[in-house]
Structure 1
Amino acid sequence: MRKHYIDNLRTSIVLLVIIYHVCYIFNGVGVLGGIPNSLSLPICDGFASLVYPWFMVLLFIIAGMSSAYSLEKRSTKEFIASRTQKLLVPSTLGLFVFHFITGLVNTRLGGAELSNVPLLVRYFIYVLSGTGVLWFAQLLWFFSLILCLLRNIKLFEKYRLKEKKSIYLPVIIIYLSSLVLNAPIITVYRVGIYLASYLIGYYVFSDENVVERVEKTVYISLAIALASGVIYISSFYGSDYTAPSCLQNVITNIYAYFTSIFLIGIFKRFFDKTNSVLSYLSASSFGFYVLHYTPILLIGVLVSNSGLNVYLRYLLTLLLGSISTLLLYEVIKRIPFYRYLVLGIRNKR
């Protein structure tokens, strides 16, 4: 049976990511990768810092849950083939046919002088610089392979089938994993905490009994999330929320974990349903995720060089970026072979 609350939660996070990236490209708190010298709004910087600790943690937890449900219907070979098509192809081959555009803009914004570099070499630089949001798909594919190896260890699978699991103990794992396997400079590659989140989703939250307990204790999770969130904001508001001093703080990780399980519980309780709009958004959410950053960045650059009011800059970037993402998705998914490279959608036989 389809778990609509997971679909709706995943869709909500993707839409949140789109809003976050509008705040991110104009950020005024020193997060690397934004548009240089752009005007920013403190309230938007505050929003970005508020969601950053938990929204990708939650997305990986959901991915782990979804992997468990997928493996109930697929063999390991079929699962890896499916993950390769959907995740690896768009995050590698898609760089060469679409996301190099992001790389071109990024290198220009970064002040790189490439006019004397041969065109072919420049193209490969743009490709390598265009990864952007595709890091999520790259890590998720890698984690899927690790999961397939771990499933052969009986001790782990025995734990997954265990009737009673703690819904609070994983917060310790989340915190400890935040301290390890963090890539230098490219801070989005937080391999430790994201791998832990993915495996927690698979081994813990794919169990319906666990989700039912999360649903029943949702207001306890909310209280802990709010309390830790207040401490987190009071400690790090106005600073670089991607810095290790923030992301490896124990309060930050308590806030990230309990916000995540609160949202799982609240969506299970109130949003385990669907309709034609929600069904479309669920089916399209990965495509929106893959495509959204390029139009947002391009529109952000255009409005940052205008004389528009700062509020209008944010609003237009979000509105036009979202519309452009939708149109791009609808066009690209109809182009044979190209849709496979960019979105991982095979041609219909």
Structure 2
Amino acid sequence: MTTSGHKRKEGTESIRCYELDWLRVIAVLVLVFFHSSEIFTKGWFHIKNDETSRIFDSLSSFIYIWHMPLFFLVAGASTWFALEFRSGKEYVEERIYRLLFPLIFGILLLIPPQSYYENVQKINFSGTFLEYYPHFYEGIYPKGNLHWGHLWFLFYLFIFSLVPLKLFLELKSDDRKKYISKFANRFSKGHSIFLLAIPLAAIEIPLRWLFPGFQTFVTDWANVFHYLLIFIYGFLLYSDQRFKRAISTNMKLSVAIAIPLSIGYIIIIPLSESAFNGFMANPTSSYLLNHPETVLYYIFMMVFKTFGEWCWLIALLGYSTKYLSGRKKIIRYPSGIAYPFYIFHQTVLITIGFYIVQFHASIWLKYFIICISTIALTYLCCELAKSNRISRFIIGMK
């Protein structure tokens, strides 16, 4: 999300991959519709509407399959290009500026309003925001209030940028590129690119049961290893042109596979949750022996999710490269504000949503008001942030 360019060296020239800019902008916009839908699902979110809808449950589940993986895939691809023009030291310095500074700013100023409105709605906190602010730093969420909200992505991405950096630098050296060539030779032929979903499933099946996904990092190992692998995949997919051809060849098939897998995932979620709740009420091996469907539902759910996720990622890369990579003038402006839009959007959304859910109106009207208002007001926040050198600095803008 935060790279300053996606330029590939071709001899003495550099060619920018604009499809990555498009995918980043699309992913950021989808966040508004995704987080707005969370208000109307039966699952957890900071604020909730009294009335929920299965349609929003399904919409949220569908977006969940591919959305955050897309962010990390694009970030990994961007890292390949960033290291074309930066040393390892320059890359780390840029990561600190672009990721850690906005994270600190967000925790100090943007996340407290989210926590405030959550506490007003869920535990009837009756004070003002200024009265609540000191309480934000009392304990770690969910037992306390302190958390990083949607900005967890920045910390995860910062760590992911550092952990494989030595490996990435080695792979970009002339004497190590042969390993990338061997990898591309193995996984770019025919339909073999789909085999890269197997390690994703191998991570999800044993870990997701134990670490269901609250983004604390230290107790979130399913997400940590899953997204780290996606990040590395993004780096590798743009390291060799054979992957680009493989993606183009398989993008139609990817959609054909992803659609039924996504439908299967959405259908099996309530079955798996019901079986899992039964196990949690009696967490013994004898329960699992007497209810083997608990494990089967879970395994199928993870397989549908991971293979569907990988197929959607291939399709998104393929179709964006085919139809969007040449539209550079259109994407230039939205690409420039995508990062601050991500940083501001959820605070704006929760603030608006807190008041909108109190209206006596249809669930769909509320949803669209929240989405449209969030986009408009977040855009204004981005424009205000751009106009000042200090604000540009603290949110990591160039």
TM-score (norm 2): 0.77
For residue 333 of structure 1, the aligned residue among 386, 391, 395 is 386
Amino acid at match of 2:349: I
Task: Identify the range of structure 1 (169-178 vs 101-110) with the bigger mean alpha-carbon deviation.
Answer: 101-110
Question: 2:133 and 2:334 mapped to 1: Cα distance?
Answer: 38
Unaligned stretches of 5+ in structure 2?
1-14, 188-192, 277-296
Partner of 1:252: 305
Amino acid at match of 1:330: E
Question: 2:273 and 2:81 mapped to 1: Cα distance?
Answer: 37
Q: 1:138 Cα deviation (Å)? A: 0.9
1:344 aligns with 2:344: no
For residue 210 of structure 1, the aligned residue among 220, 243, 248 is 243
Partner of 2:165: 148
Flag the 1:16–1:126 CA change in 2: closer, same or farther, 3 A. farther
Q: 1:322 Cα deviation (Å)? A: 0.7
1:50 aligns with 2:50: no
Partner of 2:156: 139
For residue 159 of structure 1, the aligned residue among 166, 179, 184 is 179
Amino acid at match of 2:304: I
Q: 1:51 Cα deviation (Å)? A: 1.2
Flag the 1:18–1:36 CA change in 2: closer, same or farther, 3 A. closer
Would you say the 8 A contact 2:265–2:301 is kept in 1?
Answer: no
Amino acid at match of 2:388: I
Question: 1:205 and 1:144 mapped to 2: Cα distance?
Answer: 16
Q: 1:204 Cα deviation (Å)? A: 3.2
1:95 aligns with 2:115: no
For residue 41 of structure 1, the aligned residue among 49, 53, 58 is 53
Partner of 1:279: 332
Q: 1:295 Cα deviation (Å)? A: 0.9
For residue 289 of structure 1, the aligned residue among 339, 342, 358 is 342
Q: 1:5 Cα deviation (Å)? A: 1.0
Would you say the 8 A contact 2:272–2:301 is kept in 1?
Answer: no
Question: 2:212 and 2:135 mapped to 1: Cα distance?
Answer: 22
For residue 22 of structure 1, the aligned residue among 36, 53, 56 is 36
Q: 1:125 Cα deviation (Å)? A: 4.1
Flag the 1:34–1:97 CA change in 2: closer, same or farther, 3 A. closer
Question: 2:89 and 2:68 mapped to 1: Cα distance?
Answer: 27
1:313 aligns with 2:340: no
Partner of 1:2: 16
Q: 1:335 Cα deviation (Å)? A: 2.5
Amino acid at match of 1:83: R
SS in 2 for 1:306: coil
Q: 1:226 Cα deviation (Å)? A: 1.7
For residue 195 of structure 2, the aligned residue among 146, 169, 186 is 169
Task: Identify the range of structure 1 (289-298 vs 247-256) with the bigger mean alpha-carbon deviation.
Answer: 247-256
CA RMSD of aligned residues (A): 3.0
Flag the 1:216–1:169 CA change in 2: closer, same or farther, 3 A. same
Would you say the 8 A contact 1:222–1:258 is kept in 2?
Answer: yes
For residue 197 of structure 1, the aligned residue among 219, 227, 230 is 230
Percent of counterpart pairs with the same letter?
24
SS in 2 for 1:81: helix
Question: 1:63 and 1:3 mapped to 2: Cα distance?
Answer: 13
Flag the 1:269–1:210 CA change in 2: closer, same or farther, 3 A. same
Flag the 1:23–1:238 CA change in 2: closer, same or farther, 3 A. farther
Flag the 1:277–1:246 CA change in 2: closer, same or farther, 3 A. farther
Question: 1:114 and 1:335 mapped to 2: Cα distance?
Answer: 35
1:265 aligns with 2:318: yes
1:173-201 deviation digits (Å, cap 9, x = unpaired)? 11122246668575245111101100111
Task: Identify the range of structure 1 (255-264 vs 119-128) with the bigger mean alpha-carbon deviation.
Answer: 119-128
SS in 2 for 1:249: helix
For residue 236 of structure 1, the aligned residue among 256, 265, 269 is 269
Flag the 1:42–1:200 CA change in 2: closer, same or farther, 3 A. same
Q: 1:205 Cα deviation (Å)? A: 4.1
Task: Identify the range of structure 1 (17-26 vs 245-254) with the bigger mean alpha-carbon deviation.
Answer: 245-254
Would you say the 8 A contact 1:106–1:130 is kept in 2?
Answer: no
Partner of 2:214: 187
How many equivalent residue pairs?
A: 341
SS in 1 for 2:65: helix
Question: Quick one: higher RCO (CA 8 Å, sep 6+), 1 or 2?
Answer: 1
Bigger Cα Rg: 2
